Chains A and B, each alone.
Chain A
Amino acid sequence: MALTRDMFAVSRDPFDVTILLRSAAIKPLFARGPSPTFRVFLAALAALGLILADHRHQHLAMVRSALAFVTYPIQYAADQPSALVRMTREQFASTDELRDENLLLHRENLLLKARVQQFEALEAENIRLRDLLGSSLDLGERVVIAEIMAIELAPYRQQVMVNKGTKSGVFVGQPVLDANAVMGQVVSASPFSSIVLLITDADHALPVEINRNGLRTIAAGTGLSEGLELLYIPKNADVRVGDLLVTSGMDGRFPAGYPVARVTTVRQDPDNPFTTVIAEPTARLDRSREVLLVWNLSETSRQQALAGDAPQSRGTE
């Protein structure tokens, strides 16, 4: 016992000396270091440079995804409480509930399968007709299911974080759907997660057409989760309440023909030279838990689809 204490005392001494030396070497450096005013000046300049670079040129994707390695554990931890609640709920679900749900899903599956049979024939026919017209159609997408992480992002913006990133092939600008309609697009992707800007964000707009008559317009977000505004609709345009808006594919980003929203209000405001049209997104933006990330198919797979085969890579991963 005495021996170990002696050893400890001996071993502690050099440690103290090194600390002392370090402190002697570092201390004056701190005292003479740049003043806080100088430092904040530098920091503000650096921050402004970053803001400019990020806002104007979008050059900082690499920096962002490198930093995401550091921040991902925090986000992961923040997602855990709600994941735990969900898991517990699933654990304690009764057999009856599970059986009911299973039955329901089974029926739905049967219905959907029946619909798909029809759909494949229609799709081939549609491609053939479009080919006759000389217009192309993006279709036969590859889809990956991602989960929305329960994390608060910047307040007053309509953004969500999903748990798939560049490791799964996600890219910036990728369209995101839910089971019902278009949800938004990926605005930043890091290796394990990515941020999706929803179509209702005030910074987001996408080209749509009215499914009934093909009238093309732009649906801009309003910042509220239940409203899109259609821009530049002339006073005499044929828009009615209940019209379904689908993506027109004119942006080359969203595949054409996916539902976006349903018109809820058509109003003539005296101060507005255009018709005020408000539409409600068909996607369940604030309720969906799973989202679909979509890739367009390459030209070769399109040709295969045209030849009548079902595209090989269709379906979920």
Chain B
Amino acid sequence: MTARPGPRALARTTAALGLTVAAFAGTTAPAGAAPQPMGRCTTSSGAVLAVDFSHWGGPVYRSCGTTPTTGYELLNQGGWRTTGTGHDGPAFICRIGYSGHQGGKQYPTPQQDDCVLTPPASAYWSYWHADPGQDTWTYSQLGAMLYKPKPGSVDLWIFGGTNIEGTQGRPTVTPDQLRAKNTKPTGGGKPAPRDTRTAAPLPPNVDTGPAPEDPPPSDRTAPPTPSRPVPVSPTTSKSPSPTPSKSAVPTPSVTPSTTTGSPTVAASGPRVVDAAPAADAAHDTGSWVPAVVTGALGLLIGAAAVLAARRRRTE
């Protein structure tokens, strides 16, 4: 593992500083990044986004987005939303929510972290990458707004604490469990407008890694249902069938892990669920009445004070 103390701290700091995306100059519309059903991501195109809600008893959601994109755009499309901190702005990811999970509720909740100042290193969303073919996680050296995932790579957000040495707070899932295994885009009906660009061939010097050993046939046929559990590890012992991870049934089935991953995965293997592009969670802008009430209250207090002071002086 290549996580070093200096850059790790630096990455947290850079994320905390104001970051921006140069590609947007002058427009509000995003430049090309679009959410995709999971089947559109392949070993060499699209970027997989995975978010681990297991800290709150949820699954690990994974979804797909076109490239070029940034880590921040991946997290703010297809029903995903983030909240920054009051101190650092939206670039410091403080809360993450998905409209298909608990009605779009963002975690950590305001009771757990008020997201005013930079969250503590013991409880924050840490950002990990795995480039194509790589089976180890790399702690992100850049903030979400600056990092541009490579086609075929996996981005993972996990909540918890990390230490400077890089020994604590490592992801328990492996990149292989989350990575898109199919070599061609499947499902999803008509391709997205920018799909041709995302499927562009890689530069010759980019190593996409070995071909997937066990490409699941399910990915070619399965429709992109909002939550299709991809069994990866023995979470419960309900039906300990020895079938490998290639079931096409859209119901949760539990199978022993086919990955040759580390024992940490088997210890507390999270459930991986595909998150299809969804509409944004409804947002209520609230009422303007409290603001007016406060303004009236302030005027009242000011007028009362001025009157009282004037009366005192003239007496």
The answer to whether A and B come from one shared complex is no
Residues of A at the B interface (CB closer than 8 Å) are none
Residues of B at the A interface (CB closer than 8 Å) are none
